[in-house]
């Protein structure tokens, strides 16, 4: 019996540590050939000397799998294309793109600098768009050449910070909300080619989340990346072709499908600012409350 991802070529960005590393290792165990992309930078995006991508690729090869390291910057448009091309040139194909790379530059709105905003938006939002663009173009052209759906996958990474909102992460939250919207739109656009596009909202204890808040030992255990990776491996497989345009909450005791914006309470349109106030207030009061980072309604 073949393994779940036997022969599938998968790019995992930010795969040198944390969740991305767990993805790469589990995908390889399920038969995938993995492009381990990582710039080996710090949590805030500054450079380090350690080659984490090489270490993970070597670990996969030592275990009998197939992997190569890749050091392209996903936020560089040309670099993202080189990453896609490297997968095709080395393994002969590309079946899955997992956008996982990210950094943090946390600060409140009043204190955030332009550079802190730009850096996070660049890595997360553009760093998801650029690889998606080049992978999608590759699959579109392949579909046009063969006339056969490609059965390919894009798996993006959103966050509770973008879906629920988290104080001190206005740059990160805006990027992650944008990624959720991008996922839904791309799923509609690429369906014709046989490409599914989904995203995850992960809860994990990694260097990205260490020190943000105190957690119990039990909570830390529930946030191990091993609780997230199996769902991503399945989404990467050929078996998941009927699931697209969804965001899944994983880890931290969660295995759930997220539900997006829907129209709530409504009233007849009013063309008078002097009269519309009470109606607007009533709509706001009757609408479901926003939720906190744990998904609980705010007071």
Cα of 122 vs its chain's centroid, Å: 14
> How far is the C-alpha of 120 from the C-alpha of 23, rounded, in Å?
22
Q: Largest Cα–Cα distance in the chain?
A: 72
Dist. CA 114–CA 225, nearest whole Å: 32
Provide the pLDDT for residue 297.
85
Total length of the chain: 299
Q: Report the distance separating Cα 274 and Cα 202, nearest Å.
A: 45
What would you report as the CA-atom Rg of the chain, rounded to the nearest whole angstrom?
20
Please give the pLDDT value at position 51: 86
pLDDT value of residue 220: 64
Beta-carbon-side half-sphere exposure of residue 210 (alpha carbons within 13 Å)? 7
Which two tokens mark 217? 């030992």
Model pLDDT, residue 298: 80
Active site residues: 172
Q: How many CB atoms lie within 10 A of CB 150?
A: 19
Cα–Cα distance between 59 and 209 in angstroms, integer?
Answer: 25
What's the pLDDT score for residue 45? 47
- CA 228 to chain centroid, in Å, comes to 12
Q: What dihedral do alpha carbons 101, 59, 154, 124 form, nearest 10°?
A: 0
Residues 85 and 278: their CA atoms lie apart, in Å, by 57
pTM > 0.75: yes or no: yes
Dihedral sign for Cα 61, 67, 69, 75, please: negative
Domains and CATH numbers, the chain: 9-258 (3.40.50.720), 264-298 (no CATH)
**pLDDT tens track of the chain, all 299 residues?**
469 999 999 999 999 999 999 999 999 999 999 999 999 765 554 565 458 999 999 999 999 999 999 999 999 999 999 999 999 999 999 999 999 999 999 999 999 999 999 999 999 999 999 999 999 999 999 999 999 999 999 999 999 999 999 999 999 999 999 999 999 999 999 999 999 999 999 998 655 555 555 656 767 677 698 999 999 999 999 999 999 999 999 999 999 999 989 999 999 999 999 999 999 999 999 999 988 887 888 86
Question: How many beta carbons lie within 10 A of that of residue 137, not counting itself?
Answer: 12
Q: Are 130 and 74 in contact (CB under 8 A)?
A: yes
């Amino acid at each position: 019996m073949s393994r779940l991802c036997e022969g599938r070529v998968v790019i995992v960005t930010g795969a040198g540590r944390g969740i991305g590393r767990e993805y790469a290792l589990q995908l390889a165990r399920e038969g995938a050939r993995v492009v381990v992309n990582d710039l080996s930078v710090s949590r805030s995006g500054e450079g380090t000397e350690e080659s984490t991508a090489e270490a993970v690729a070597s670990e996969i090869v030592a275990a009998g799998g197939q992997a190569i390291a890749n050091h392209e910057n996903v936020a560089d448009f040309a670099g993202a294309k080189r990453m896609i091309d490297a997968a095709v040139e080395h393994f002969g194909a590309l079946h899955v793109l997992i956008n996982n790379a990210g950094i943090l530059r946390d600060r409140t709105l009043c204190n955030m600098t332009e550079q802190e905003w730009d850096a996070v938006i660049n890595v997360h939002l553009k760093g998801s768009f650029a690889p998606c663009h080049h992978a999608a173009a590759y699959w579109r052209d392949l579909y046009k050449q063969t006339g056969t759906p490609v059965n390919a996958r894009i798996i993006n990474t959103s966050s509770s910070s973008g879906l629920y909102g988290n104080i001190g992460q206005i740059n990160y939250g805006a990027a992650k909300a944008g990624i959720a919207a991008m996922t839904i739109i791309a799923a509609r656009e690429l369906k014709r080619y046989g490409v599914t596009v989904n995203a995850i909202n992960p809860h994990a204890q990694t260097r990205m989340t260490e020190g943000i808040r105190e957690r119990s030992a039990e909570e830390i255990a529930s946030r191990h990346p091993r609780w997230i990776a199996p769902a991503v491996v399945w989404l990467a497989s050929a078996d998941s072709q009927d699931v697209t345009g969804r965001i899944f909450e994983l880890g931290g005791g969660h295995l759930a499908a997220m539900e997006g914006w829907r129209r709530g309470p409504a009233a007849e349109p009013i063309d008078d600012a002097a009269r519309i106030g009470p109606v607007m207030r009533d709509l706001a009061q009757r609408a479901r409350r926003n939720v906190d980072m744990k998904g609980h309604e705010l007071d």
